Amino acid sequence: MSEKKPLINELTKGILKENPVLCLVLGTCPTLAVTTGVSSALGMGIAATAVLVCSNSVISMLRKVIPDKVRIPAYITIIAAFVTIVQMLIKAYAPTLNEALGVYLPLIVVNCIILGRAEMFASKNGIAASALDGLGMGIGFTAALFLMGSIREILGAGSWFGMNIPLLSQSPILIFILPPGGFFVFGMLMAAANKLNSVADKQIRGTDCASCPMSESCRGLDEEKECVK
Amino acid sequence: MSLTQLIGIFLAAILTENYVLCKFFGICPFLGVSKKLDTALGMSAAVTFVMVLATAVTWPIYTFILVPKELDYLQTLVFILVIAGLVQLVEIVLKKYMSKLYNALGIYLPLITTNCAVLGVTMLVLDKGAENPSFGYIASLVNALGAGVGFLVAMVMFAGVRERLEGCDIPESLKGLPITLVSASLVACSFLGFNGIVDRLIG
């Protein structure tokens, strides 16, 4: 993608320009499911970032060894191994977080962000660039989750990190922490991101559709906006 | 486990625990292929089939191999590989013996591997089984079938909603996915209304 650009670009692009959640629309399932509270959203973000950095580096290390035909199963195995490690660490050191994330923790394996970055970036770039790309994408993911979690917890439960907010906590808008609120907040955030992007830069979507694992399924998605540059 | 209980599990999986609208599994295909009715049907049929099959295979693997050997921490790794293998196998079998169905499902089959609904169902039924020992193999299969049918119901309903959206006048920045998500929110709202109904029906 960018051999000549400085490495720092790999880190920063994931945070704003190519934010995996709001601009590339990857990893929507955990985004909606665990953002009922700020702390579980942050926990999910950090866990996914850890997996992303590790899997990106290892896949980049092995990119010349893995035969092209079996690359997807090989990537999934590597990712699943790191997810298992993270899962065991969280179970041991943060049991409450483990309970809050529940089944969504092992589901990081099928998070499209991780496989997507492996396929799009780590399989073509060096180790340092891939690790930074993973870190940047992870931070972008965490930031989006944090934002969604904050909005939903403040409006839906009247609290932030479990601390009550005066006035709001007396009659919270419960629907925001229920499933419909998740869809609604996500839609609104995406609309805001669209607006900001169209104002700032028309050429924001630098996605490489051909190598995106979801390309076949999102062909029916929004042709002119989401996936075509 | 009595028949009424099984029907209760089935209905609960479709309505109150709807995997897409209440548990947020499989949002990617939900948003991606729900634009047309026929693709929505094809995708959900394939997902239902793989869900039941995956549960049928992973349940015994977990209960009779991983747990006795104290390897249950390998659950994630084993399950995802089993699902990937199954999807591949189903693809080969369908291609050889039922080419009509294979052509109808087309590209949706390989995509199911990365559908979190399948992995989610196989893990959730084991969680349920751990809490309630009477929730055995048959109940798990019924639950998986219900989850698949629930996925189908959500996809088909939403395909209808999206077809109506096409002719609407939508603000520029809401066009595309944002308005889709907002309408998904309204559909999810209607599913909230089912809470409690199933429990009361079955008693």
Concatenated DSSP letters of A151-204: HHHHHHHSEETTEE-TTTTTS--GGGGSHHHHHHHHHHHHHHHHHHHHHH-TT-
pLDDT above 50 (res B201): yes
Which positions ≥6 away from A113 have C-beta within 8 Å?
A: A20, A21, A26, A27, A48, A52, A137, A141
**CA distance, residue A9 to nearest chain B CA (Å):** 27
pLDDT above 60 (res A203): no
Assess if residue B203 is contained within a domain: no
Instruction: Name beta bridge partners: A162.
Output: none
Grade residue A215 by pLDDT with cuts at 50, 70 and 90: very low
What local confidence, expressed as pLDDT, does residue A21 receive? 77
What local confidence, expressed as pLDDT, does residue B106 receive? 66
Q: How many domains does chain B have?
A: 1
User: In terms of CA atoms, which chain A residue is nearest residue B185?
Assistant: A180
What local confidence, expressed as pLDDT, does residue B169 receive? 83
What local confidence, expressed as pLDDT, does residue B199 receive? 67
Contact assignment for B28 to A220 by CB distance below 8 Å = no
pLDDT above 70 (res A166): yes
**CA distance, residue B162 to nearest chain A CA (Å):** 11
What local confidence, expressed as pLDDT, does residue A36 receive? 85
Q: Where are the domains of chain A?
A: 8-215
What local confidence, expressed as pLDDT, does residue A114 receive? 86
User: In terms of CA atoms, which chain B residue is nearest residue A33?
Assistant: B24
Give chain B positions within 8 Å (CB) of A219: 32
Give chain B positions within 8 Å (CB) of A110: 80, 113-116, 119
Beta carbons of A17 and A23 less than 8 angstroms apart: yes
What local confidence, expressed as pLDDT, does residue B202 receive? 62
**CA distance, residue A6 to nearest chain B CA (Å):** 33
Give chain B positions within 8 Å (CB) of A106: 75-76, 119, 123
Mean pLDDT of chain B: 83
Mean pLDDT of chain A: 79
Grade residue A46 by pLDDT with cuts at 50, 70 and 90: very high
Give chain A positions within 8 Å (CB) of B108: 217
Contact assignment for B181 to A190 by CB distance below 8 Å = yes
Cα–Cα distances in angstroms (integers) from residue A185 to residues A174, A189, B71, in the given order: 13, 6, 40
CA gap A66, A76 in Å, rounded: 12
What local confidence, expressed as pLDDT, does residue B55 receive? 92
As a whole-number percent, the residues of chain B with pLDDT over 90 amount to 7
ipTM exceeding 0.95, yes/no: no
What local confidence, expressed as pLDDT, does residue A1 receive? 44
Contact assignment for B181 to A186 by CB distance below 8 Å = yes
What local confidence, expressed as pLDDT, does residue A227 receive? 44
Domain coverage including residue B150: 3-198
Of A179, A219, A222, the CB nearest to B24: A179
Of A81, A188, A213, the CB nearest to B77: A81
Give chain B positions within 8 Å (CB) of A178: 192
As a whole-number percent, the residues of chain B with pLDDT over 70 amount to 94
Which of A23, A28, A227 best tests the B interface by mutation, with the highest count of B CBs <10 A? A28
pLDDT above 60 (res B203): no
